[in-house]
Amino acid sequence: MPESLRPEEIRTQLASGRLGKTIHYFIELDSTNRLAYKLAAEGAAEGEVVVAEAQTRGKGRLGRSWFSPPGLNLYLSVILRPNLSPADAPQLTLVSAVALADTVQRFLGAPPAIKWPNDILVGGKKLAGILTESSVDAQRLHFVVVGIGVNVNLPASMLPEEIRGAATSLLILTNKIVDRTAFTGELIRNLDRCYGELEQRGFPPMAARWESFFELKGRKVKVEMGDRVVLGIARGIDRDGALVLEKQGGATERIIAGDVTRAEA
Ligand code: BTN
The domain that holds 252 is classified in CATH as 2.30.30.100
Output the domain CATH number for residue 81: 3.30.930.10
What does the pLDDT look like over 238-261, one tens digit per residue? 988 899 999 989 999 999 888 899
Q: Report the atom number in ligand 1 closest to the C-alpha of 129.
A: 3
Are residues 205 and 227 part of one domain?
no
* Final residue of a structural domain among 212, 235, 251: 212
Nearest CA to ligand 1 atom 16: 147
pLDDT of 265: 64
Residues paired with residue 120 on neighbouring β-strands, in sequence order = 114, 128
Where does ligand 1 bind, in terms of residues with CB under 6 Å? Answer: 31-33, 55, 58-61, 64, 66, 75-77, 119, 129-131, 147-149
Element holding 173 (H helix, E strand): helix 170-174
Q: Give the predicted TM-score (pTM) of the model.
A: 0.95
Side-chain-side CA neighbours of residue 219 (13 Å): 15
Residue 69 Cα to ligand 1 midpoint, Å, equals 13
pLDDT > 70 fraction of the chain, expressed in percent and rounded: 99
The angle formed by the CA atoms of residues 23, 27 and 31, to the nearest 5 degrees, is: 75
Residue 205 Cα to ligand 1 midpoint, Å, equals 26
Residues paired with residue 80 on neighbouring β-strands, in sequence order = 144
Would you place residue 35 in the very low, low, confident or very high pLDDT band (cuts 50, 70, 90)?
very high
Are residues 118 and 188 part of one domain?
yes
Are residues 226 and 207 part of one domain?
no
Return the minimum-mean-pLDDT range out of 30-39, 147-156, 248-257: 248-257
Say if residue 122's pLDDT is above 80.
yes
In 3-state terms, what secondary structure has residue 120?
strand
Are residues 23 and 78 part of one domain?
yes
Domain count, the chain: 2
C-alpha span between 22 and 79 (Å, rounded): 11
Q: Report the atom number in ligand 1 closest to the C-alpha of 52.
A: 10
Identity of the amino acid at 140: R
pLDDT of 2: 63
Domain limits for position 168: 7-212
Are residues 240 and 136 part of one domain?
no
